[in-house]
A and B are shown apart, each in its own frame.
Chain A
């Protein structure tokens, strides 16, 4: 049974069309990665699924129900301003529990349990400003997982981390995903990240935003990006992605002046 179903979804902001006739099905329990240039409507799509926005036309359904507002089984994680600066790590993790009607003690107890599971107990009384970037994203993930979400939406969650931390967080995400069995939809502009994580990569086009290519990555994890099959997918997507980025950065009239490097890039992020 398909978990997320978008049918003919459009989203306009004034005269600007962010999403244009999007049809997309995301299967339950899968890890889908949306890739595309900045401003192609990836974030808008996540927020539509999260119930934080409503489509201008078309329908967004999760588990066969139309999304009309934030759902209890869905959590959205951002790149920046994810944790609340004015709460300790424990209170941040307890935040969602408190809003699900748990008492302060009970929410705090479960928050600490969750922190134990992810090895962050000793940071329970710190505030986000005292944590490293990777740790902050781990707490953000803990805050989402403590609610046992069935659907986890992540908007460039590792975008601001350095290369090494990002790799560690990707492995961490994969292992928590296996345990939680949640459906994950992750947005990134890093093709390598998509290749490492995704069951299915959806490539977005800008102006107006819509999926232009859907690729299933049917390879066991952890993945070797130099593996033949993965390389093949990467080569195909990277030239496509580069074209999309160029099209979103430059006006059509300028294109003749832009040296379009459509040959295979080295793929380094």
Chain B
């Protein structure tokens, strides 16, 4: 009896420690996979250029565009029209962050309101359903007329690209909360805003977090498409300029940057999800990190 009691005391921490070790091991493995993927892509590219399989004039390999980027700081144009890689990058990041924040934030608020108010849903959901399928790029002409060719237009395009679909996703997420949760909570005395805050919000948070990640991809495409098609600044515009001046090293550097940044943003969103939805990582659930 005494022995088994002792064993029980020891058991829990050991299990917890091994779970933490397993998580850490998974973390290292995913970082290793990431590095391997980049090395593989860069290696094939480099090799292809060396043996003449890929034309370096059109597809300059990393060994060419990386030093180019460091030497020239990726500038194109002359005098007042001169734009640098770093400033374009910053511009795009700020635009997508602002558009994403506004779009997701208003989508969440609008979605929650529509979910809470049945009479508003009758009109609100069809409106969102009409706005959601409009391709972000289709908003560019309107955005430029409204805001000119600067940050305002870019943020507007991103916002319009994700707000409606985020609204619909939020309505669906709240609608997908099992009725038993809400009934249990009401039976235990929860109601009004506390029911929303303590039950409906956490219960719908996993679907909302997934919708946010998908929204980020839409936002990232929107801002780049906008910058390539009329908003003449930022990373997207830099790539187009590189093409127009046949600076393929710049085009390639731009493409790699777009891929890498999109990936990095997505990882940040994933880490935020794991922190906020901490309970998902525990127990016998499938780890959503691989998704």
Q: Which A residues are closer than 8 A to B by beta carbons? A: 47, 50, 52, 70, 72, 74-78, 80-82, 84-87, 95-96, 99-100, 122, 126-131, 143, 147, 153
Contacts and interface: CB of A to CB of B under 8 A. Distances in A.
Nearest to B276: A86
Given A47-B183, A80-B180, A86-B279, A129 B285 contact: yes
B82 interface: no
A143 B187 CA distance: 11
Interface in B166-214: 178, 180-181, 183-191, 194, 198-199, 202-203, 205
A100 B189 contact: yes
B279 A85 contact: yes
B184 A99 contact: no
B284 interface: yes
17 contacts: A50-B183, A50-B187, A72-B189, A76-B183, A76-B187, A78-B180, A80-B178, A80-B180, A82-B184, A86-B202, A86-B277, A95-B185, A99-B189, A100-B189, A129-B279, A130-B283, A153-B187
B283 A95 contact: no
Given A129-B283, A130-B282, A52 B187 contact: yes
Contact of A122 (B8, B198, B202, B205): B8
Contacts of A86: 202-203, 205, 277, 279
Contacts of B203: 84-86
Contact of B184 (A74, A81, A128, A130): A81
B6 interface: no
Contact of A129 (B188, B199, B205, B282): B282
A75 B181 contact: no
A52 B189 contact: no
A52 B182 CA distance: 10
B12 interface: yes
Contact of B180 (A81, A87, A126): A81
A210 B180 CA distance: 23
B183 A99 contact: no
Nearest to A95: B188
B189 A96 contact: yes
A107 to B, nearest CB: 12
A62 B186 CA distance: 18
Contacts of B189: 70, 72, 96, 99-100
Interface residues of B, number: 26
Interface of B: 8, 12, 178, 180-181, 183-191, 194, 198-199, 202-203, 205, 277, 279, 282-285
Contacts of B186: 52, 70
B259 to A, nearest CB: 34
Given A75-B187, A84-B184, A128-B283, 5 more contacts: A50-B187, A74-B187, A81-B178, A96-B188, A129-B283
A80 B183 CA distance: 12
A153 B277 CA distance: 31
Central interface residue in A74, A87, A128, A129, by most chain B CB within 10 Å = A129
Contacts of B194: 99
A153 B283 CA distance: 29
A84 B195 CA distance: 12
Contacts of B187: 50, 52, 70, 74-76, 153
B178 A84 contact: no
Contacts of B181: 81, 84
Contacts of A128: 283
A129 B186 CA distance: 22
Contacts of A147: 188
A95 B284 CA distance: 24
B188 A143 contact: yes
Contacts of B190: 95, 99
A127 B188 contact: no
Contact of A99 (B180, B188, B202, B277): B188
A85 B185 CA distance: 13
Contacts of A95: 185, 188, 190, 198
Contacts of A153: 187
A52 B183 contact: yes
Contacts of B12: 122
Contacts of B183: 47, 50, 52, 76, 78
Given A99-B189, A129-B283, A143-B188, A84 B180 contact: no
A82 B180 contact: yes
Contacts of A77: 184
B66 to A, nearest CB: 45
A232 B203 CA distance: 46
A108 to B, nearest CB: 15
Nearest to A130: B283
Contacts of B279: 85-87, 127, 129
Central interface residue in A47, A52, A72, A84, by most chain B CB within 10 Å = A84
B204 to A, nearest CB: 11
CB-CB nearest 7 A-B residue pairs: A129-B283, A99-B189, A96-B188, A81-B180, A76-B187, A130-B283, A86-B202
